Structure 1
């Protein structure tokens, strides 16, 4: 998913890789996990008058750190990397199972509410600490620190694509420090630092090792092409591995989750099987049921707030509190989407006069200071409260809680075949577009995020997006 604006490769000094991560990451992570668990379990058990609160606290702390150690959460390559809330929740559920077994063995079983109250702070504080570490690492990588020095090798087309994608964001650990062109041609970005030609005496491998050492590269990324064939790839891998240099291979796939890939070998030929996107089955049924149940529960719990917002809108400006608009849903079906009105009643008529002031680079119309937005409307948009009536659309089955942004019919009329693929699933109240910047995203970034969601959707990814939505709403970035 985009984590920053494109930048020229090699424009900044680059530090060494995972070894350059700050050393305080591990002790801080361990200190939070141990101290918070010990304190919370001891206090709750002591207050509930459970026997042996100190022993229970120590056992819980050891179990929590052991679970995370087994799951490699304390590894140098793992610390600071964003894995979302779901993997951590999975670790916590394993902790509950482990402690349940210990309780059976020791014949000491505390009340379930007491146990949960004692262990929930561990999960919350671990999530917060890992988020802060990740934020610090992200800032370091924006300054070209704590990254791997990468040498990219390939023919001009494949090489250009790999370098461009690596340079398009700063939320990954790869920084390009040099390129090597295989065969003829010149990369779009300019003359290559080195050129590689294959002979019959293994000189290409030795030359590539020398080039990697000269650039102090920690990783050589190979982009296969017509000249970089299987035998030549093997030759280069032998030379690089013998020299102690790490090697990675880009198969040319884009926006494909590794969960959909399976590597296997047939007749000595290494293959990658790409599983089709999920379109039905248990996960789809679970998503549909969760959407309807969550929408019904949300409308019930938020009904007092919905009444207050309705009154505020009606008092602030003339016109109805709700705004209906035709949107395009799954498989290009038209449906009526509901929102709280955040603009004046004749906003659609006035938009034609404002087209020249559109601040978005694509088919959508966006203005930071749109004169049609009312006073209450600004608050509603800033907090995303204007979208709450879409719960009715979710309940009806027109929308989902998570999915691509529902487009207007006039936008869809200008879609190409690639953009139309985002309509293969139901649109959502939230999605990758919202947790990644909303209106601050370019049109191409919005499309790429939607296509990634369509191709790689899973029920667990929906849960992860929803957990990140709250922070995006509180932050308010890109909401106008």
Structure 2
């Protein structure tokens, strides 16, 4: 219903702004209809595309970026179809009307979806709107799966039991002791019906043969219980995955991650153009901030720090100075009181932060000078967090993969909790971004950054 309301209201406003309140304003061209007919047709086409793109599927609502990507795709297809129809019929639909209606409607749809998502998140945080799941699979894989689902309650899956291989009779790890072991994997369908599970999540390998997995799928027919299959590979996004059936066996083709080529050139151009525009827009406020820093504490306006960039190259990252000039000398004494994770030092009430610096940090304003790093090419608008050389000394080859792309002003870890995240979770998010980034995903991360900054979660 909210999609219908937003699309209808947007087109009414677009027509009123462009043509006034005359519903019979005609479209230019041979046998062209009035604009009221065009508005109704566009609204119907838009809503159909939103449905065809499956933007309202329960499995994507409230979690991940697919929902917003599908809304953007539906809007783009609507615009493309209208352009084709206009070309074929020679109807000259007002460009001002279209350029007002479609972008405004797309933004409004995303805002409404974000509002609904906030409500869904609040409900799921309270334990509501959770799909009841029974996990079936090997012992260790099942434990890992349950932990991941528990770390992401907003995904909407509540594990109510687990079925393990017959030879495993010992209990789960201590942190999972509240999850009951309901029986063998062969009993998964019966147990799922008994406990009221809505899904069986199958995480199989040698303990679950192809024939057993197929029988499990057959056993679910007519029960109303869904089957979710977790692949052996993790942290791989959809654009890199293609399914192909071979003798009834669904093979998952995973494209290798690419770190060069036209896509990266497009990202670099977009970074530099956008950073230049943002610097023009933020130039005067940045001068005011610089003056406040100089007037309230001694020391330089900018803080320059050596960081590791793409492919391990060093660069000087810029920030507004938010600490007193002796901050580095006082770090050793404060390290035992760190509120951050095991690797990064963070302190919620850091005495080294100036009064102006507290405000700058709370809203991430201190990072605005990094737009100069982006324009220069050392950084990207979106990417992994730029690490200190001292942090990288203990890294293994797995963590170094995050440096295959440029570090960013914002990224997945920033919009997922920032300083509240553990080191392992921060690394996992940065690696996921490195392997799977896209321009569309970057745009969504930037939108989420605005919400994260305003919400001030993990900012200190």
- Structure 1 length normalisation: TM-score? 0.85
Change (3 A) 1:232 1:65: closer
Deviation of the 1:366 alpha carbon: 0.7
Change (3 A) 1:273 1:321: same
1:165 counterpart = 2:165? no
Q: Is the 8 A contact 1:45 1:118 kept in 2?
A: no
Deviation of the 1:427 alpha carbon: 0.8
1:58 counterpart = 2:58? no
1:194 counterpart = 2:168? no
Matches for 1:331-480 after TM superposition, within 5 Å? 331-480=311-460
Change (3 A) 1:301 1:34: closer
For residues 377 and 43 of structure 1, the distance between their equivalents in structure 2, rounded to whole angstroms, comes to: 44
Deviates more, 1:85-94 or 1:320-329: 85-94
SS in 1 for 2:342: coil
SS in 1 for 2:54: coil
For residues 368 and 291 of structure 1, the distance between their equivalents in structure 2, rounded to whole angstroms, comes to: 31
| Match of residue 20 from structure 2 | 46
For residues 269 and 209 of structure 1, the distance between their equivalents in structure 2, rounded to whole angstroms, comes to: 22
Change (3 A) 1:417 1:119: closer
For residues 81 and 268 of structure 1, the distance between their equivalents in structure 2, rounded to whole angstroms, comes to: 31
Higher relative contact order (CA 8 A, sep 6+): 1
| Match of residue 150 from structure 1 | 133
Deviation of the 1:269 alpha carbon: 4.7
Change (3 A) 1:301 1:136: closer
> Structure 2 unaligned runs (5+)?
27-33
Deviates more, 1:454-463 or 1:314-323: 454-463
Deviation of the 1:453 alpha carbon: 0.7
For residues 2 and 165 of structure 2, the distance between their equivalents in structure 1, rounded to whole angstroms, comes to: 45
Deviation of the 1:108 alpha carbon: 4.3
Change (3 A) 1:363 1:132: same
Q: Is the 8 A contact 2:12 2:39 kept in 1?
A: yes
SS in 1 for 2:43: helix
Deviation of the 1:28 alpha carbon: 3.1
> Structure 1 unaligned runs (5+)?
1-26, 198-203
Deviation of the 1:396 alpha carbon: 2.2
For residues 251 and 76 of structure 1, the distance between their equivalents in structure 2, rounded to whole angstroms, comes to: 21
Q: Is the 8 A contact 1:38 1:61 kept in 2?
A: no
The number of equivalent residue pairs is 446
Deviation of the 1:276 alpha carbon: 1.2
| Match of residue 222 from structure 1 | 202
Matches for 1:144-293 after TM superposition, within 5 Å? 144-185=127-168, 186=170, 187-188=172-173, 189-190=176-177, 192-196=180-184, 204=186, 207-241=187-221, 243-266=223-246, 269-293=249-273
Question: What whole-Å deviation, never above 9, does each CA across 1:421-479 have from its counterpart, x for those lacking one?
Answer: 22222111111111112112222221111111111122222222122222222222222
Q: Is the 8 A contact 1:42 1:57 kept in 2?
A: no
For residues 362 and 338 of structure 1, the distance between their equivalents in structure 2, rounded to whole angstroms, comes to: 25
Question: What whole-Å deviation, never above 9, does each CA across 1:21-59 have from its counterpart, x for those lacking one?
Answer: xxxxxx233223323333443343227995344334333
Matches for 1:131-142 after TM superposition, within 5 Å? 131-142=114-125
